[in-house]
Structure 1
């Protein structure tokens, strides 16, 4: 595996972060600031650098490399697979439907079904993050594989604005696009791990009314009223403050816990709009964290991903949540540094801060939508 990394900000040309190498038909991952990715020339710019590259774009709430975590930049990571191969398929939820009738389950299932099954080892997904129901998307993707294939990835981000996300394959980034990268090869090794570092607090309450990703009632009381009560003075800062106090959702069978970010609130309905589905009869608690807990969780995720491997990783794709970035603030690079220490300095680091992380629970194959986690995918040939 050979890799090349470049970065540019609004006022500079492309700068190489690694040695300049000639790559043959590379997979080119482009993560960065949404406004910069909306440039009409962005695809042609990158195509001029990697003229036979397969270019995948995703807007980020911060792009990640071993050098730094930055907001007003675009980072390119180009990968030449020397023993393995990849196939890329796409779908667009806006071109096929209007945003009121998107069947996210079918979108996920049909996207993965486009990939040839023979030799398929892993799928990495770069999904738009504005219109899709991430919970249903991941369920559909898992259904396409009968839970027999690992899938990781990200819902694209847009800083803390939540206005618009864009992504694409071999064209200028656009809204509604979902890209699936299928990885193939006998010697290919892919491992992954997730960890959050958030701590539940306060009483556990039952979901008594919900629909898809909208939470209406807890213990038969308006959910938003209860949430504001717990936030106290911070309730004045909603919906932004909700990123710092997500919900811990216990599955109905009680076996797993999923963290759900609150994306918005509806004062009229006294409800909260979450980043993924929340089901009636599940139980929830508020969560909080601090910088040290988040950094330690990133380190644990890296350790778990490395311990599951036979060979040293060559590429690490990090997907962390915008909510974690807001907590880390000026210390945001610390969680990336912890991962780097574990995976080794020879491993190429790339990734993004997202609106949702896609990965199975550890020890499982069926992918899930997560929030407020560090998700690490390690790849080698």
Structure 2
């Protein structure tokens, strides 16, 4: 595994990043993360000219991650190859019409190779397309419990209007792209968030899919703002709500003891409801969550440790991080540099790639596998 990155939006950035990643001539898969501000068709064409026959997936981001540091105007290209890997890719368009079916369609790209027993499905989705847990359910329905799922939701630099996915030589939107990877060595996945509960729980008294209408039988938006001590009743300040939600998500209590985090992606200032990036079931207890730099960085080290432990003592070929943009909001500019430094330190110099997401995918056991405001680390053995 090798990673190349290039900063800036000028012509040639894709070619430079691809050249740095293609250190060998036997690449089996390219994964591309890039800023929405690029000329996406031109960028993809540059990369494809460097590796015309190699399967490729990718997406736009809310920031890119490489060992050199975080960026908001770069492209990061990861190449995975060698005799120990096989990879196939797939794309499902029109995902918002049926996310579960989209997940099922792309899950079928997993290579069938008895000589490569370790497998993982990497999913990159349009996080604005609806309840992303449906995507996980669809993929799980095809692959079952034996194949882990990992990935993240594409971003658009927090504009929250339209994200893009890359597949082969296509620039897509409202889509899911996937890479099924088979290997002769294990993969490791770590998942941690670093958030904690604040205040008293609230009962979800009316909800449908990823929209919450009432909490404790009162309008959800009003209850949420009251818990935070904020008054937005005089106007529809979507920007203020978005800033609050980045650092004050919902936490859903789970039997496992670790809360499942839900990013509040918006609100309806007429009906006073809240929308989240995934399902918040009626009858659930939810808390407002908060975190700080210390708790978030501790979660970073724990996620890396869990991911590497699954390799059984083998040094990783590389690491891919799917890091929620909300965690970046907590850490600040200095903190995200520290986080990436810790990632590279823990991985002992192995290549690091990733992006800041609108939601994270990690299913290693059980049916649930969509996360918000969480760090997911994939170690390639």
Whether the TM-score (by the shorter chain) exceeds 0.5 is yes
Instruction: State the distance in 2 between where 1:133 and 1:267 align.
Output: 21
SS of 2:369 mapped into structure 1: strand
| Partner of residue 33, structure 1 | 35
| Partner of residue 151, structure 1 | 149
Report if the CA contact (8 A) 1:234-1:241 is conserved: no
Name whichever of 193-202 and 109-118 sits farther off.
109-118
Instruction: State the distance in 1 between where 2:348 and 2:366 align.
Output: 26
Give 1:367 shift. Answer: 5.0
Report if the CA contact (8 A) 1:298-1:336 is conserved: no
SS of 1:88 mapped into structure 2: strand
- The counterpart of 1:264, out of the listed 263, 266, 274, is 266
Instruction: State the distance in 2 between where 1:76 and 1:277 align.
Output: 32
Pair 1:229 & 2:233 matched: no
Structure 2's unaligned 5+ residue stretches are none
Taking a change above 3 Å as real, the CA distance of residues 78 and 20 of structure 1, as seen in their structure-2 partners, is closer
Pair 1:342 & 2:346 matched: yes
- The counterpart of 2:319, out of the listed 316, 320, 329, is 316
Cα RMSD, aligned residues only? 2.1
Instruction: State the distance in 2 between where 1:270 and 1:19 align.
Output: 48
Give 1:68 shift. Answer: 0.8
- The counterpart of 2:212, out of the listed 215, 238, 247, is 215
Instruction: State the distance in 2 between where 1:323 and 1:234 align.
Output: 22
- The counterpart of 1:174, out of the listed 166, 172, 186, is 172
SS of 2:338 mapped into structure 1: helix
Structure 1's unaligned 5+ residue stretches are none
Instruction: State the distance in 1 between where 2:43 and 2:98 align.
Output: 31
- The counterpart of 1:352, out of the listed 350, 355, 372, is 355
User: 1:184-243 CA deviation, whole Å, 9 max, x = no partner?
Assistant: 13x221010111111110101111110000011111111111111122247562133211
SS of 1:229 mapped into structure 2: helix
| Partner of residue 195, structure 2 | 198
| Partner of residue 7, structure 1 | 6
| Partner of residue 101, structure 2 | 106
Instruction: State the distance in 2 between where 1:309 and 1:21 align.
Output: 24
Q: State the number of aligned residues.
A: 367
Instruction: State the distance in 1 between where 2:376 and 2:206 align.
Output: 30
Instruction: State the distance in 2 between where 1:43 and 1:12 align.
Output: 11
Report if the CA contact (8 A) 1:113-1:144 is conserved: yes
Report if the CA contact (8 A) 2:63-2:157 is conserved: yes
SS of 1:272 mapped into structure 2: strand
| Partner of residue 58, structure 1 | 59
User: 1:255-286 CA deviation, whole Å, 9 max, x = no partner?
Assistant: 55210000000111111000100101110000
Report if the CA contact (8 A) 1:25-1:52 is conserved: no
Taking a change above 3 Å as real, the CA distance of residues 150 and 234 of structure 1, as seen in their structure-2 partners, is farther
| TM-score, L = length of structure 1 | 0.90
Report if the CA contact (8 A) 1:128-1:178 is conserved: yes
| TM-score, L = length of structure 2 | 0.90
Pair 1:378 & 2:379 matched: yes
Taking a change above 3 Å as real, the CA distance of residues 127 and 343 of structure 1, as seen in their structure-2 partners, is same
Give 1:298 shift. Answer: 0.4
Moved >6 Å (runs of 4+): none
Pair 1:72 & 2:73 matched: yes
Report if the CA contact (8 A) 2:323-2:357 is conserved: yes
Instruction: State the distance in 2 between where 1:20 and 1:257 align.
Output: 40
